[in-house]
Amino acid sequence: MVNKVKSFFEKFYLLIILAILYAPIVLIVIYSFSNSANFNFDQGFTFDGYRAIFDSDKSEGLWDAISNTLIIAAIASLFATLMGSFASIGIFNLKKRTRRIVENVNQFPIINSEIVMAVSLMVFFVTFAFPEGYLRLVIAHIAFCTPYVVLSVLPKLEKMDPSIYEAALDLGASPFKATCKVVIPYIAPSIGSGFVMAFIMSMDDFIITQINKGAATGINTLSTYIYSDARVQGLEPFWYPVFSIIFVIVLAAVLVLNLVRTKKDIKANARGKRL
């Protein structure tokens, strides 16, 4: 009996915290069909909010912002993945002390507070007169995305059995060919997840973009556009459907990513059993 009561309270507690975490998300989704900003259904159930995504005066800015977000994320994460993957192979072959220094510097953008990273890049760009706009943003995004790629690839290299690479050399492959044909295929999954991580990080960024975009250029990513619009007059009905769509996309993406991961685990387990 005591155990049953305890178990009930435990589940109740878990549910309450979960409810608090999801309340804002769920309420926004529900009221995205009301086309109102004060959580009422005075206008009844309507899709007007969703239609407004395409034909309101904010639509153009929204689509601009979305394409900017995707373009910057794509360029930055591609560069980050390319540079980070090769860098990992290089770092792996560095001398111990140098390697430790490089790895520590690599950690820095991750542990550092975003605002400090943002202003330090801003001071750098201003001091060396980098042209305002996309160049600054892409460089800044590469700078905070690449460490994630390195952190994804490097552990995989460490796990790799060096004799595989040596076998390729013994069989007559040049070191370059062995790297391309043996090492890179082996680390490919980590390169892939590094790319996904870099892409998500870049898309999700607000602070570094906001501070480095330059006021005069008018470039906005999704987050800075939302900020510039909602900072002054609060959240207008326009944003409810947009947020709802973002919630659905994020939920789906997280689920898919985790399903893939679980599937991989199951496969790995099955393989282990067969052996």
Partner 1 sequence: MKKIKFRKLKLTKKVFSFPYILFMLLFVVIPLVLILVNAFLDADNNLTLENFKDFFASDANIIVLGNSLLVGVITTMLCLILGYPVSYILSKMPSGKIIVLLYIIPMGVNFLIRTLATKAIFLAIGVELGMGTVVFGMVYNYLPFMILPLHTSLSSIDHSYIEAAQDLGADKATTFVKTILPLSVSGICSGITMVFIPTISTYAISQLLSNGKVFLFGDSIQLSFEQGLYGVGSIMSIVMLIFVLVSNLIMNTFNKDANLVRRSVW
**Range 177-216, binding partner 1 (CB under 8 A):** 179, 193, 196-197, 200, 204, 206-207, 210-211
Among the listed ranges 48-56, 59-67, 70-78, 225-233, the one in contact with partner 1 (CB under 8 A) is: 225-233
Q: Which of 59, 62, 39, 34 is nearest to 49 (CA)?
A: 34
Kindly state the tokens that stand for 244.
Answer: 């709802």
Kindly state the tokens that stand for 18.
Answer: 């979960």
- Asked if 27 and 244 count as a contact pair (C-beta separation under 8 A), the reply is no
Q: Is the Cβ of residue 50 or residue 165 nearer to partner 1 in the bound state?
A: 165
User: DSSP class of residue 130?
Assistant: P
**In the bound complex, what is the minimum distance in angstroms from residue 78's beta carbon to partner 1?**
14
**In the bound complex, what is the minimum distance in angstroms from residue 270's beta carbon to partner 1?**
19
How close are the terminal C-alpha atoms of the chain, in Å?
A: 46
Choice from 91, 137, 145, 168 touching partner 1 (CB under 8 A):
91
155 to 174, contacts with partner 1 by CB under 8 A? 169, 174
Q: Is the Cβ of residue 191 or residue 226 nearer to partner 1 in the bound state?
A: 226
**In the bound complex, what is the minimum distance in angstroms from residue 196's beta carbon to partner 1?**
7
95 to 154, contacts with partner 1 by CB under 8 A? 102, 105-124, 127, 139-140, 142-143, 146, 148, 150-152
Q: Is the Cβ of residue 231 or residue 271 nearer to partner 1 in the bound state?
A: 231
Q: Is the Cβ of residue 90 or residue 275 nearer to partner 1 in the bound state?
A: 90
Q: Is the Cβ of residue 50 or residue 243 nearer to partner 1 in the bound state?
A: 243
Choice from 23, 167, 188, 256 touching partner 1 (CB under 8 A):
23
Identify residue 30 by its one-letter amino acid code: I
- Asked if 81 and 193 count as a contact pair (C-beta separation under 8 A), the reply is no
How many helical (H) and strand (E) elements, i.e. helices and strands, does the chain have? 12, 0
Q: Is the Cβ of residue 113 or residue 163 nearer to partner 1 in the bound state?
A: 113
- Asked if 72 and 141 count as a contact pair (C-beta separation under 8 A), the reply is yes
**Chain-centre distance of CA 222, in angstroms?**
14
What does the alpha-carbon distance between residue 24 and residue 193 come to, in Å, rounded to a whole number? 30
